[in-house]
Amino acid sequence: MANTPHGGVLKDLFARDLPKRTQLLAEAESLADLSLTERQLCDLELILSGGFSPLEGFLNEKDYHGVVNDLRLADGTLFSMPINLDVSQEEIKAVGIAPGKRIVLRDFRDESPLAIITVEDVYKPNKDEEALKVFRGDPEHPAVKYLFNTVKEFYVGGKVQALNRPNHYDYAGLRYTPAELRAEFNKLGWNRVVAFQTRNPMHRAHRELTVRAARSRQANVLIHPVVGLTKPGDIDHFTRVRVYQAILPRYPNGMALLSLLPLAMRMGGDREAVWHAIIRKNFGATHFIVGRDHAGPGKNSKGVDFYGPYDAQFLVEKYKDELGIEVVPFQMMTYLPDADEYAPKDEVAAGTKTLDISGTELRKRLRLGLPIPEWFSYPEVVKVLRESHPPRVSQGFTIFLTGYYNSGKDAIARALQVTLNQQGGRSVSLLLGETVRSELSSELGFSRSDRHKNIQRIAFVAAELTRSGAGVIAAPIAPFDDSRKHARETISQSGSFFLVHVATSLEHAEKNDRKGVYAAARNGEIKGFTGVDDPYEVPTDADLVVDVSKTSVRTIVHQIVLLLESQGFFGN
């Protein structure tokens, strides 16, 4: 018998609204609509399926304040994470969003109608209060950054009616709704189910942990990984799901089941742990493993943890009676080579030989192609990880050269391309500033906004090439720090990014300008010219600083090659 849903009733809106679906679809044709963001899409899917029971829509203002301040809906039901439909002033005006209005919510990917919301209220949240009370206020917390940088200024509250399930073209057979998963448990005869939340690949220690948890409670295991939005920089869900599929046969026959959760995580630590427990309860689990620093984003730039290691376990334990799901504390496992087995660290006698590999060490071994021992992970899991994360020698990278016009960056870029082509092993693409301006950004001028847009186009192209394993050499002027930082952030999601500041002085660049471009700018014939009547912001985060007035192009190219070599791009 699966666990009782949170609030007593599973709010399966797909089933509830199926009898009038034809009528609702016809009505939707005449209604104004909103295109959802990726986070909103994840939230809506779990509202519609009942994963967020007892919610039947996005929080109205009264429920929102209750959740933010007291972890409770207005009716007193425990709920720890605000689920909001954020909109802009422009959307309010364009769509005519107002209380009583019915609006179609559409999938941004294919514009399919997913639901109709009946607006209860439109309100402006206090984002400072939400950041502080829900996420503890650290401006470096990813949810706080998202709140202030991405979330729009108004929230729309209201219940929704289901039209269609979002279309998923990956792992469709593993995407169970709560009702479907409960039916599967019933078919299998599972009465006690331990849910394991993860956003990372699983290795032998995770298998041992979940098996121990299940056996100690005479239960089965639900591997329930998040495949919506997770922490920036996490391994993509395609790779992770292939890992989960590879490790599943390593469980005792019939013990474990894999189901994917389309959740947009907030990395909200203790509050998120309570939220996760509610979600797993709705999916029918009777037990839930809460890990050390569960759903925490780690440390900030000062090395301070956003959450304490056991904050999540403490908060879930505080509300265990209301949650109605048994918490299983995450036991840190360690390998005992003499016994060839894993054991909880707190049960290992002093002096016993143990072995562990940290996440940092694992990433290093993958990056450099070093062996990963079978005591740590199964060969079939390592195979999947190596396919998705090849060693550095097979990865792409971007060398981003910035400096004044005629600083020597173009000469360096051309010479570097020749050198890298000579070495072989990967294709090398050259994105010179003038070439990009001609081929990609011919309609742009030289205002700050146009310059930023030009650099972001370069970053997009470089990121795609880097992702495919190419070496990219970009050499725009890129005078503004925020544009360079944005480019680094964009490209770093696809591979390694190296900023090279060609710090040749303006005087030297102008003195050796044979084309007379600086002279034309000084005479007012060219407006907005960097170094003349437009600023150049000197980088403070360059990986390498060079100067062609002091060092030859040949030597500078060699310095860049050595930088790449030190990072493993040419082998061990």
263/44 Cα distance (integer angstroms): 10
On whether 558 is known to bind a ligand per the annotation, the reply is no
Backbone angles phi, psi at 51, to 5 degrees: -65, -25
227/264 Cα distance (integer angstroms): 8
On whether 265 is known to bind a ligand per the annotation, the reply is no
175, 199, 207, 240: the catalytic one is 199
**329 preceded by cis ω (within 30°)?**
no
On whether 367 is known to bind a ligand per the annotation, the reply is no
What's the one-letter identity of residue 536? Y
547/508 Cα distance (integer angstroms): 10
Say what angle helices 142-149 and 127-135 make with each other, to 10 degrees.
Answer: 170
On whether 100 is known to bind a ligand per the annotation, the reply is no
Q: Which of 129, 128, 115 is nearest to 163 (CA)?
A: 115
493 half-sphere exposure, CB direction, 13 A CA radius: 13
Q: Which of 300, 233, 320, 231 is nearest to 268 (CA)?
A: 231
On whether 484 is known to bind a ligand per the annotation, the reply is no
On whether 435 is known to bind a ligand per the annotation, the reply is yes
On whether 213 is known to bind a ligand per the annotation, the reply is no
4, 118, 191, 200: the catalytic one is 200
- Is 530 catalytic? The answer is no
On whether 243 is known to bind a ligand per the annotation, the reply is no
User: Across-strand partners of 162?
Assistant: 115
Q: Which of 52, 77, 73 is nearest to 64 (CA)?
A: 73
234/319 Cα distance (integer angstroms): 30
375/462 Cα distance (integer angstroms): 39
Q: Is residue 120 classed as helix, strand or coil in its secondary structure?
A: strand
Question: Token pair for residue 121?
Answer: 């209220």
- Is 165 catalytic? The answer is no
On whether 515 is known to bind a ligand per the annotation, the reply is yes
- Is 118 catalytic? The answer is no
60, 77, 84, 198: the catalytic one is 198
On whether 291 is known to bind a ligand per the annotation, the reply is yes
On whether 164 is known to bind a ligand per the annotation, the reply is no
220 half-sphere exposure, CB direction, 13 A CA radius: 22
**Is the distance from CB of 71 to CB of 78 less than 8 angstroms?**
yes
On whether 414 is known to bind a ligand per the annotation, the reply is no
Q: Which of 545, 400, 542 is nearest to 476 (CA)?
A: 400
79/72 Cα distance (integer angstroms): 5
**Is the distance from CB of 195 to CB of 224 less than 8 angstroms?**
yes
**Is the distance from CB of 142 to CB of 54 less than 8 angstroms?**
no
**Is the distance from CB of 241 to CB of 385 less than 8 angstroms?**
no
On whether 294 is known to bind a ligand per the annotation, the reply is yes
On whether 293 is known to bind a ligand per the annotation, the reply is yes
| CA-CA-CA-CA torsion sign (560, 566, 567, 569) | positive
On whether 436 is known to bind a ligand per the annotation, the reply is yes
Residue positions forming the annotated binding site for 3'-phosphoadenylyl sulfate? 434-437, 515
Residue positions forming the annotated binding site for sulfate? 197, 199, 295
Residue positions forming the annotated binding site? 197-200, 291-295, 333, 434-437, 515
Residue positions forming the annotated binding site for ATP? 197-200, 291-294, 333
Q: Which positions are annotated as active-site residues?
A: 198-200
